[in-house]
Structure 1
Amino acid sequence: MDWDQARIFLAVARTGQLLGAARRLGVNHATVARQLTALETDLGTKLVERLNAGCALTPAGEQFLVAAEAAESAFLRAAAALSGTSTAVSGTVRVGAPEGLGNSVLAPALAGLGEQHPDLVVQLVPLPRTFSLSRREADIAIVLDRPNRGRLVTRKLSDYTLGVYAAASHLERIGAIVSEEDLRTRLHVTQVEEFSYSSALDYAATLRRLMPRRFECGSVAGQLAAIRAGHGVGIIHDYVAARHQDLRRVLPHLHFRRSYWMTTHPDTHGTRRVQEVYACILQAVARDRETFIREAAG
């Protein structure tokens, strides 16, 4: 079996698209189609149904997927063992993380790591979504809910708190917020519920019952910008708010505590490049530890 062909098959199976596989592998669409056809010819069976909306595995494709993933795991474990003997840090590591943590804490730290190691490419993907390590969507994923299924290496990264914040300009223009009743006429800056991807994001419901007027934004950065512009009130991570002197915490009895979990796949956890990025994330969070937790009485 040609490993390049198997690698392309895996990318198609995981993305569900020829074009998606081409983008992931950094090759053109025609190469993916040609190599996949060659693999099917070699095996004497159809592995993938090409559909208008994407690709679907045939029963033979499902069977071959198991064998291809087993071969991939063996290859990655061997690479991890060999990389442990090297002093060089090279290759690509993709980190999937929640937007607030990724933009505020991880981006500067991981860019610094990339500057130290010329042959290391760190891809930080701070998006409001989950990442599948088994489908190789990321090498390291930071999640809000502790995983309870799958072959994963999991550790608690940190607890963190969130509070209710308004800009100083908002409070000066409209007035102080000293009770929950003061929220009735304010604009609630919040997430778009349809895009909520974790039960840990349910804290917005607390303000929703108090504030009938809403501006909804699917981006944490967008919510932060709207609050800092003085247009409304919203829930912000305390470690994010600590970086902006124009924000004021209001109604400190309304506070929320959640956790971040860091996960890796056992096949790649031991590689030198993943270990370097893993350690960098731990150090970055440790440096900011005092800003991650703010007591309710704040």
Structure 2
Amino acid sequence: MDWRTVKFDWNRARAFLVTAEEGSLSAAAKALGVSQPTLGRQVAALEEELSTALFERGGRGLELTRNGLDLLAYVRAMGEAASSLSLAATGQATSIEGEIAISASEITAAYVLPSILHKLRNQYPGIRVNLVASNEASDLRRRAADIAIRNFRPTEPDLIARKVGEFSATLFATPKILADLPSPMTEDRCKAPFIGFLSNNERYMEALAQRGFKLQEEQFVARTDSHLVHWQLTRAGIGIGMMPVELGDAEPQVERVLEDKVFGGDVWLVSHRELRMNLRVRTVFDFLAAELSEYFEPQK
């Protein structure tokens, strides 16, 4: 079938595109902010309109049929064009008042940004902030956020980034856990309980092993992918956990397990190049850059 001769309903085409990229109706519905039955009806309507099956259910969820694969290239191009149009239109806005979406990790969103956003609110009361707290990088190209705070430098050519500082993180534990550890620290320290992660815990273990903590799986007495929950479990004395040094040092319930850092890196402020032509985005971007540079200045 020549897809170039077919006229699509964009809502149905977008439902197909996101479902193909997410791999399931439930994940796609969540990404689009619609109900799963609504999304399913949109995909089914597109299949009926084209008189062809676009998906088949496999062992790993929905899998594209041959026709679905052929269609995906065209719909993806439509999506990129729609995103570019939206970005270009938004970039022409000249009013400071209105909504802006800022993406940051859970820890940054909960502990770093509130005081900064309070200053922003006082200086620009017409700006309304939608704060996306997620440990996954937001897709700025698709307008998941206007501005993102990341711990890595983006490589996409249509994104602009400004380094605003450096972060350091180390291990913390309650005094009771520390009391059971030998001093000075030896290999026996590896017998202590740790808080781990549900995803990528092997990478976490590898990083800790480089610092001498050669841990076994059974030593992770609790795991979570939420960094906020990870920190609360650490504060509660469940096990040894990880936290940025400036936040951990400010918490009276815990102490450092090690004096030096275990993890570290750069902090970047990121936006789409076209959105930087938007006065509101540009204003907030520059405001955040100044405030975050001041916040992370002691880490330099």
With normalisation by structure 1, the TM-score equals: 0.71
Aligned partner of 1:180 in structure 2 is 185
Distance 1:250 1:80, change over 3 A: same
Task: Tell whether 2:159 aligns with 1:155.
Answer: no
What is the match of residue 112 of structure 2?
105
Structure 1's 179 and 232: CA in aligned 2 closer, same or farther, altered over 3 A? farther
Any idea what SS the aligned residue of 1:215 has? strand
Checking the alignment, whether the CA contact within 8 Å between 1:238 and 1:292 is kept in structure 2 is: no
Show the counterpart of 1:296: none
Cα distance change of structure 1 residues 54 and 181 upon mapping to structure 2, 3 Å threshold: same
1:278 to 259, 270, 285: 285
Are 2:166 and 2:299, in contact at CA under 8 Å, matched by a contact in 1? yes
2:80 matched residue in structure 1: 70
The alignment covers a number of residue pairs equal to 285
What does 1:97-246 correspond to in 2, within 5 Å?
Answer: 97-107=104-114, 109-110=116-117, 120-127=128-135, 129-134=136-141, 137-149=144-156, 151-168=158-175, 170-171=177-178, 174=179, 178-181=183-186, 184=189, 187-192=192-197, 195-196=199-200, 203-205=207-209, 206-209=211-214, 213-218=219-224, 219-246=226-253
Q: Distance in 2 between matches of 1:210 and 1:2?
A: 54
Q: SS where residue 102 of structure 1 aligns?
A: helix
Inter-CA distance 181–69: structure 2 relative to 1 (3 Å threshold): same
Post-superposition offset of 1:65: 2.5
Q: Does 1:61 align with 2:71?
A: yes
Q: Which amino acid aligns with 1:68?
A: M
How far is the alpha carbon of 1:286 from its aligned partner? 3.0
Give CA deviations for 1:28-64 in whole Å, capped at 9, x if unaligned: 445434444555666x475832536236371332222
When residues 37 and 245 of structure 1 are mapped into structure 2, their CA distance, relative to the original with a 3 A threshold, is same
**1:20 and 1:231, CA in 2 relative to 1: closer, same or farther beyond 3 A?**
closer
State the match for 1:87 in structure 2. Answer: 96
1:212-262 CA-to-partner distances (Å, cap 9, x unmatched) read 944342333333333333454444311221331333335424654322333
In structure 1, the partner of 2:57 is 51
In structure 1, the gaps of 5 or more residues are 294-298
- Mapped partners of 1:29, 1:179: distance in 2: 56
CA distance in 2, matches of 1:150, 1:47: 36
Q: Is the 8 A contact 2:92 2:277 kept in 1?
A: no
Aligned 8 A contact 2:181 2:192 in 1? no
Give the conservation status (yes or no) of the 8 Å contact 2:168–2:244.
Answer: yes
Q: Unmatched 5+ residue regions in structure 2? A: 1-7
CA contact (8 A) 2:221 2:238 kept: no
Describe the SS at the equivalent of 1:208.
coil
1:252–1:48 CA distance, 2 compared to 1 (3 A): same
User: Counterpart amino acid of 1:204?
Assistant: L
Q: Secondary structure at the match of 1:184?
A: helix
CA distance change for structure 1 residues 88 and 290 in 2, over 3 Å: closer, same or farther?
Answer: closer
Between the two proteins, what is the percent identity of the paired residues? 24
Pairwise CA RMSD of aligned residues? Answer: 4.1
Distance 1:201 1:287 in 2: 32
Cα 1:245–1:282 change in 2 (3 A) is farther
